[in-house]
Amino acid sequence: MHELGIVFHIIKKIEEVAAENAVTSVNSVTLEIGEVSTIVDTYLQDCWKWAAAKSDYVKDAKLLIETIPAVTMCDSCKRTYETVKYGKTCPYCGSEDTYLVTGNEVSIKEIEAI
């Protein structure tokens, strides 16, 4: 379960930012998570509840998740398409000379704090 490691990393970054900006508490944290990132939202939420309770800054903060759609680029025909729907094979030309453009990332989008 790599979700716990991700949560620890996020909380550490939030605590650093909070300390640098004289923040007393965080109300919410919004994460952007790629559709094919292999992160399980429910596991992430459970890990967040457990780990956040141990931090003075984020103990009452909500974790909000926004999904970034997975998009693949075809090197043969130079078109993009929905990764989850079509996989590695381009639906336009049938090529497998493709690569993921978006959908595997994880980032902190927003921290709402006081």
Is 78 inside any structural domain? no
Q: What is the mean pLDDT of residues 14-36?
A: 94
Domain count, the chain: 1
Is 108 inside any structural domain? yes
- pLDDT tens for 46-67 read 999 999 999 988 999 999 999 9
Q: What is the DSSP string of the chain?
A: -THHHHHHHHHHHHHHHHHHTT---EEEEEEEEETTS---HHHHHHHHHHHHTT-TTTTTPEEEEEEEPPEEEETTT--EEEHHHHTTS-TTT----EEEEESS-EEEEEEEE-
User: 1 pLDDT exceeds 70?
Assistant: no
CATH code at 106?
A: 3.30.2320.50
Is 75 inside any structural domain? no
Residue-range definition of the domain harbouring residue 13:
3-69+102-113
Is 21 inside any structural domain? yes
